[in-house]
Amino acid sequence: MSEAYKKFLIPPPKIAPSILSADFRKLGEEVKKVEKAGADMIHFDIMDGHFVPNISFGPMVVKALRSEVSIPFLVHLMVEDPERILEQTIDAGADIVLFHIEASPHSWRILESIKKRGVKAGIALNPATPLSTIKYILHELDMVLLMTVSPGFGGQKFIPRMFSKISDLRRLLTVNKLMLDVAIDGGVTLENVEEIMEAGANVIVAGTGIFCQADIEEATMKLKKIANEKYVRIISSQV
């Protein structure tokens, strides 16, 4: 049992299918399927081709899907100068906006801008970025997302060293008496999700593990079932 769980009750698990791996020819249909299967939120990766090598889509895709489902939209800005599209993203229907600590020297200002709009705010960190970079803004955050693969491409394998980073983050939150969502993004499978949660994460972003499976509803339900059962075991062990 990880030290984080022994000392601090983390939020319940949330499954966040990432549409980057979805079939864009029938995107509306696929997000409805994962919502029906019990997904807790939809994850959007907005990429600009500069901060990361790939270009994905912009806020208009968020807006187009907003009327299709009712679950929260988690929008991950993988862009340089996130302030440039912040208002568009919120206006499109984002419920939670994440931006990279590496992308701007003005993190505090961006967090304030997001929260003034009544939207939840979070920070994302690349695999090699130390947790010390967010030490002084932890109390302003609703979520911290850790990239567990090199950002910009789907279908990669989970970087094993990230297990200790997840644990270190949950420990840091515990010390500061903060019960934040810890999200991980990249390389999630049915085989490693329990270990990911054991390390201290509770928001599971999954792309190919859901949308590239033969039955995306079944894949969503399986992942959610494993996460929920693991959470119950963790909580029970604390009693």
Residue 239: pLDDT above 70? Answer: no
Residue 45 is a catalytic residue: yes
pLDDT range class, residue 72, cuts 50, 70, 90: very high
- Tell me the three-class secondary structure of 41-99, residue by residue: CEEEEEEECCCCCCECCCHHHHHHHHCCCCCCEEEEEECCCHHHHHHHHHHHCCCEEEE
Instruction: Write down the pLDDT at residue 116.
Output: 97
Give me the phi and psi of 232, to 5 degrees please.
Answer: -60, -40
Instruction: Write down the pLDDT at residue 10.
Output: 83
Instruction: Write down the pLDDT at residue 5.
Output: 44
Residue 185 is a catalytic residue: yes
Question: What is the rounded average pLDDT for all residues in the chain?
Answer: 93
pLDDT in tens, 212-221: 999 999 999 9
What 3-state DSSP class applies to 188?
coil
12 CB-contact burial (10 Å; exposed 0-12 / middle 13-18 / buried 19+): middle
How is residue 166 written in tokens? 């997840």
Instruction: Write down the pLDDT at residue 36.
Output: 98
**Which residue do the tokens 């304030």 mark?**
112
Within 13 Å of residue 160, how many CA atoms lie on the same side as its CB? 0
Q: What type of residue is 180? A: L
pLDDT in tens, 132-188: 999 999 999 999 999 999 876 666 789 999 999 999 999 999 999 999 999 999 899
pLDDT in tens, 84-139: 999 999 999 999 999 999 999 999 999 999 999 999 999 999 999 999 999 999 99
Instruction: Determine which one of 40, 48, 181, 185 is catalytic.
Output: 185
The answer to whether 39 touches 10, Cβ cutoff 8 Å, is no
The answer to whether 143 touches 96, Cβ cutoff 8 Å, is yes
Instruction: Determine which one of 40, 45, 48, 181 is catalytic.
Output: 45
pLDDT range class, residue 80, cuts 50, 70, 90: very high
Buried-state track 113-122, b at ≥16 Cβ within 10 A, e below 16: bbeeeebbbb
Which domains can be identified in the chain, with CATH numbers?
A: 3-238 (3.20.20.70)
Q: What is the pTM for the complete model shown?
A: 0.93
